[in-house]
Amino acid sequence: MTFMTGRDIKVDLKSNIDHSHLDFTYYINKAKNDSKLIEDMVKVRKAKNELREFESKMGEDLPNRKKLKEFREFAKNIIENKPGVIRSGSILRSEEDEKRLTLKIRDL
Over residues 28-45, the pLDDT tens digits come to 898 999 999 999 999 999
What are the φ/ψ torsions at residue 104 (nearest 5 degrees)? -65, -40
Q: Hey, how many other C-beta atoms are within 10 angstroms of the C-beta on 79? A: 13
* DSSP letter assigned to residue 14: G
Confidence at 51, pLDDT banded by 50, 70, 90: very high
Average pLDDT, the chain: 77
- For the residues 96-100, what does the mean pLDDT come to? 80
Q: Are 9 and 3 in contact (CB under 8 A)?
A: yes
What are the φ/ψ torsions at residue 71 (nearest 5 degrees)? -65, -40
pTM of the full structure: 0.40
Name every residue whose Cβ is closer than 8 Å to that of residue 69 and which is 6 or more positions away in sequence.
none
pLDDT of 90: 42
- Domain residue ranges in the chain: 18-62, 64-108
Confidence at 88, pLDDT banded by 50, 70, 90: low
Residue 11 burial class via C-beta count within 10 angstroms: exposed 0-12, middle 13-18, buried 19 and up: exposed
Q: What is the DSSP string of 19-63?
A: GGGT-HHHHHHHHHHHHHHHHHHHHHHHHHHHHHHHHHHHHHHSP
